[in-house]
Amino acid sequence: MAVNESLRVLRTIHYDEHHYSLFVSAGTIGPKTKPGHFAMIQAGEGFRPYLRRAFSIADVTKVAGVPALEFVVKIVGVGTAALARFAEGTPLPVLGPLGVPFPIDDLLPSDRVALVAGGIGLAPLVLLARTLAARGIAADLFYGGRNENDVLKRADFERFLGPHRCRYATDDGSLGRRGRVTELFTNALAGGVRYRRVYACGPVAMFRALAELLAEAKLEGSFAMESEMACGFGVCLGCVVPMVDGRFATICKEGPCVSPAQIDWARL
Amino acid sequence: MTVDLSTAFGRLRLKNPIGTASGTFGYGLEFAHYLDLAALGAISVKGLSFRPCHGNPPPRICETDAGMLNAIGLQNVGVDAFLAEKLPELARLGATVIANVWGDTEDDYVAVVERIGSDRRVAAIEVNVSCPNVVKGGMIFGNNPEALAALVKRIRAATGHPLVVKLSPNVTDIVACAHAAVDAGADALSLINTLVGLAIDLERREPKIGFTTGGLSGPAIRPVALRMVWEVRKAIPKIPIFGMGGIETVEHVVEFLIAGANAVQIGTANFRDPSLASRLVGELAAWCEDHGVARVSDLVDTLRTRPRPDHEFA
Distance (Å, whole) CA A41 – CA B197 = 26
B288 in catalytic set? no
Band of pLDDT at residue A200, cut at 50, 70 and 90: very high
Query: pLDDT tens, B3-13?
Result: 999 999 999 99
pLDDT value at position B137?
60
**CATH 3.40.50.80, domain A112-224, yes or no:** yes
ipTM: 0.94
Is a pLDDT exceeding 70 seen at residue B202? yes
> Domains, chain B, ranges and CATH?
7-55+74-196+217-299 (3.20.20.70)
CA dist., res. A18 & res. A149, Å (int): 9
Q: Which of A113, A128, A99 is nearest to A250 (CA)?
A: A99
Chain mean position to CA B22: 6
Residues of A in contact with B216 (CB under 8 A): none
What is the rounded CA–CA span in Å between residue B57 and residue B35? 31
Of A233, A239, A247, the CB nearest to B274: A233
Between CA A206 and CA A225 the distance in angstroms is 11
Using the beta-carbon criterion (under 8 Å), do B57 and A230 form an inter-chain contact?
no
Residue B224 reports pLDDT greater than 70: yes
Whether residue A164 is predicted with pLDDT greater than 70 in this model: the reply is yes
Identify the architecture of domain A3-98 in CATH. Answer: Beta Barrel (2.40)
Catalytic residue (one of B53, B131, B177, B288): B131
Q: B93-127, pLDDT tens digit by residue?
A: 999 999 999 999 999 999 999 999 999 999 999 99
Cβ pair B131, B72 in contact under 8 A: no
Burial annotation B60-71 (CB, 10 A radius, 16+ → b, else e): bbbbbebbbbbb
Q: Where are the domains of chain A?
A: 3-98, 112-224
Beta-carbon contacts below 8 Å between A and B = 94
d(CA B266, CA A181): 46
Nearest to B47 by CA among B84, B98, B97, B100: B100
